Chains A and B, each alone.
Chain A
Amino acid sequence: MAILLTKTTKVVVQGITGREGSMRAKFMRRLGTNVVAGVTPGRGGEEVDGIPVYNTVKDAVKNHGLFDVSVTFIPGTGLKDAVFEALDADIKWLVMPVERVPLYDILEMVAYGKQKGAMLLGPGSIGLNTPGIGALGWLGGSVEFANRHFVPGHVGVISRSGGQSGTLPYVIAQAGFGVSTVLHVGTEPVTGMSFSDVLPLFQDDPDTDVMAIFGEMGGSHEEEAAQLVQSGKFTKPIIIYVSGAWAPAGMKFSHASAIVERGSGSTQDKITRLREAGIIVMDNPNEIPGRLKELNQQGKLRVK
C-alpha cells in the first residue's frame, strides 16, 4: 500500500545492532524493503549487513536526508526515548515491534506522535507486510516462509494477534487468493493505531477489494470498526472472526489488550455490534475460504 510502504520508502532501523534488530533488518532487506541506515548509540561507524550504523537518528539524517519510516527494535523500557528521538527527527511513520512497554510511556509517545502528526503502529506490533514490495518489522517470519505463504492479491488483512497475522495470509493463499497488505495493530494495552485508523487506508488502497480481520475480546477495536462502517466511511466488504467468547472478565490472556474490563469488551457484545453494522462475522475461522469464494462469485473480490 503506497501510503505505508513502497519500493522507495526510506527506512531507518533503531536498535539495529541488537539480536532482533540485526536479524529483522536483514529480513526486511531480503524482502525488498529499502533499509538505508541503522542507529545504535555507541556503535556509530559499524555496518550491519552492509547497512551503515549511526550513533543518533539526527546523525543518520545528516548523512542520508529525511527518513520516511523508523522501525524500532528497542527494549520496552527504552522505547519512549527512541520514539521521541525519531519524532524529533521529523519521522512521521513509526513501526514498533516492541512488547512490555510501561503504560505511561506508551501514553506519552502516542500523545507526542499525535502532536507531531505522525502515525505510530504498535507498540507490540510485529509490523506489516506488502507481498512483492517488502515488510516493516518482522511480519512474515523468515524470507522462505513469507515468500511461500504471503501471496500478492486483493484481501487486506488486519489482526490484533501477531501469530494470526501470519496465519490469515497462509489460509488465504491455501484458498487460492492473495493479500494486498497485512498489518498487525499490536498487543500492548494502548496502541497508536486501531482498526478504525487503519481501515480508511485500506479504503483508499486500489489493491484491496475486501478485508479479513482477526479480532479478540477486550479493548474497543471492533466496536470502532463497526462505527466506521455504519458512518459510511468504510464501504468494502469485511469478514471478521472475534475470539475469546469464553473469556472470564478481569483476566489477561498473554497480551495486555486481550482483557475484558468492567463489563465492556466482551466478545458477544462485539459480535452483536459488528453484525448490526452489516459486517460478516464468522463463527469459526475455518469459514474464511468459503466466504472469500462467495465474495469472488459476487464479483467483489479479484483472484489475481
Chain B
Amino acid sequence: MARLQEHEGKALFKIAKMPIPQGAVAKTPAEARQIAEKIGKPVVIKVQIWAGGRGKAGGVKFADTPEEAEKIAAALLGMTIKGLLVEAVLVEEKLDIAKEYYAGIIVNAQADARCPVVMFSTEGGMDIESVPADKIAMMNVDVIRGFKIYDALNLANKVKVPSAHITQVARLILGLYETFKNYGARLIEINPMVITKDGKVLAGDCRISIDDSSAIRHPELGISVARESGTPPTELDKIAWWVEEKDLRGTCYFAEMNNQIQGECFGTIGYHGMGGGGAMLGVDGLNKQGLRVPDFADTSGNPPASKVYRAAKLVFSQPGIDGYMLGGFMAANQEQWHHAHGIVKALREELPKRPGFPVMLLLAGNKEKESLEILREGTKDLNARIRIYGGERVYDTVGLAAEMKEMVLEYKKERKG
C-alpha cells in the first residue's frame, strides 16, 4: 500500500534524525504494558490504521499507568474503526503540548510549477485545508538547486516562529524534505509538529504517501499494493496486484470502488474496461443509465490473453453483479485478438453458471475483424444474453449502456419470475 502508517512513517523520520516522541508499536495488550513501563510516564495509545481523524473516531486514548495502558490496548486491538481492523497500536510518551505547528510537502503538477511545494504553518493540529492561506508559508522548490536549511528558516520566519525554537523547527522541515526526496513520497506531513512546554520540537504525527513508481526502489517499506487508493486494498485488489506483479507485459488494473448512482439504481455491472480513458468512458455511460459499477478494471498496453482472462475472472468474482461489460471504448493500437481469446475462456467458464446473464462485448481497433470473429465463434453455444460490437460503436457509450440496462431488467425479471 502506498500510504504508510504512523509508526512506519516515524521510523523513516528517525532515520533522518528527526525528533519523535519516545515509544513503540504493540500488537498485544502485554506489549503495550511493557512499552509503557519502559517509558515510565503517562502515555498516549494510538490505533495504527491509515485513516485520518482517528482521535474523533475514538482511536486515541491516554493512560497514566502501564496497567491502564494494557487495558486500553486490549479494548482498542481488534476494534473496527472507519471500517478498518485495528491490528496494532502505537504507545508513546504523552507530550506536554504548548503549541502545535504544521509542515507538509506536496507535488504541484501545474504547468507553472511542476515541483515540490514545502508548506509550513503555525496553525497545526487541524486539517491544513481549513487554515487560511495567509497563515501558510509556502515555497516552490527548484529540485536542481535543492532545499536548504535557510529555506526552512525563511519559511518559519515568515509565519513568525519565535527565535527560541526556530532552528529546531527548521531542522525538522529539512528532515521532512530529505525523507520526501529519499523515499519518493507524493505527500508527506507532520501534523502536529509539537512544541512542548519545556521547549522541545517533535513530530507528533505523520502522514506519508509513497509514489507508486518509487515504491519499487524501497522494498524495505513492505508496500503490498503500490497503488493509490482512498481505501485499503481488498482481497480482490491484492489478487489483481499479484497478477500484475508476476507479469509485466501490458497492464491488468483492477480496483473495487464505491460507485453510487444518483437516483434509481437499476443494476450492478461487473466492468472490464480497456485503456485508462476508454475505460472511464464506459463508467460514465453506465452511470448515466442508472447502472452501478462496483469495480474499475483496465487491461491495456498489449497484455497477453492470460492476463486478460485473469482480469475478467476477477470482475466475475464480485458478488451481486447483474451483467458483465467489456468496455473497449477505444480504437486500440494493440492487437485485439489476445483480448478476444482471454475473454472467451473466462466466459466459457462463468456463463454456464449463470443462464441468461447479460454480457456486452465491445472491441475495436487493430485486428478487429478477426477478434470479433473469435468472440462470436467462442460464445455462440452459450446460454446467455450476449451482444458483440466493434468500431462502428466505439463512442456509443449511451446506446450501449441503454442496451445493457434493457438486458439487465429482462434478466432480473426472469430470475424473479
Contacts and interface: CB of A to CB of B under 8 A. Distances in A.
| A, B in one complex | yes
Contacts of A107: 107, 114-116, 143
A219 B109 contact: yes
B280 A216 contact: yes
B279 interface: yes
Interface string A131-149: 0000000111110110001
Contacts of A164: 275, 277-278, 330
Interface residues of A, number: 72
Contacts of A103: 107, 184, 186, 211, 213-214
A224 interface: yes
B111 A224 contact: yes
Given A77-B217, A145-B366, A243 B257 contact: no
Interface stretch (A4-12, A50-58, A254-262, A295-303): A254-262
Interface string B330-343: 11111000000000
A142 B336 CA distance: 12
Contacts of B276: 161-163, 187, 216, 253-255, 258
A15 B109 CA distance: 27
A160 interface: yes
Contacts of A77: 216-217
B278 A163 contact: yes
Given A161-B276, A171-B395, A252-B228, A102 B217 contact: yes
A270 to B, nearest CB: 13
Nearest to B302: A141
Contacts of A263: 129
Most chain A CB within 10 A, of B143, B216, B251, B280, is at B280
Contacts of B230: 248-251
Interface string A50-85: 000000000000000000000000001100000000
Contact of A141 (B143, B181, B186, B366): B366
A141 B333 contact: yes
Nearest to B297: A254
Contact of B109 (A102, A112, A189, A285): A189
A233 B402 CA distance: 41
B280 A190 contact: no
B65 interface: no
B229 interface: yes
Contacts of B284: 243-246
Interface string B310-332: 00000000000000000001111
Nearest to B227: A252
A159 B277 contact: yes
Contacts of A285: 281, 395, 397
B125 interface: no
A254 B279 contact: yes
B392 to A, nearest CB: 8
B217 A161 contact: no
Contacts of B333: 126, 138-142, 145, 162-163, 166
A190 B114 contact: yes
A273 interface: no
A210 interface: no
A228 to B, nearest CB: 10
A104 B109 contact: no
Nearest to B285: A284
B107 A248 contact: no
A220 B110 contact: yes
Contact of B107 (A99, A108, A189, A288): A189
Contacts of B300: 162-163, 254
Contact of A167 (B186, B255, B293, B395): B395
Nearest to A149: B331
Interface in B271-299: 274-281, 283-285, 287, 293, 296, 298
A100 interface: yes
Interface of B: 107, 109-111, 114-116, 129, 142-144, 181, 184, 186, 211-214, 216-217, 227-231, 251, 253, 255, 257-259, 274-281, 283-285, 287, 293, 296, 298, 300, 329-334, 364-366, 391, 394-399
Q: Which 8 A-B pairs have the closest CB atoms?
A: A161-B277, A141-B333, A163-B275, A250-B230, A163-B330, A254-B276, A170-B331, A103-B211
Given A141-B334, A149-B331, A250-B230, 11 more contacts: A104-B181, A114-B114, A167-B329, A167-B394, A167-B395, A170-B365, A220-B109, A243-B281, A257-B109, A286-B398, A286-B399
28 contacts: A102-B211, A103-B186, A103-B213, A104-B184, A111-B114, A111-B142, A112-B144, A145-B365, A145-B366, A149-B331, A161-B278, A162-B333, A163-B277, A164-B275, A166-B333, A189-B107, A189-B211, A190-B114, A191-B109, A220-B110, A247-B280, A251-B255, A253-B280, A254-B298, A258-B276, A284-B285, A285-B397, A286-B399
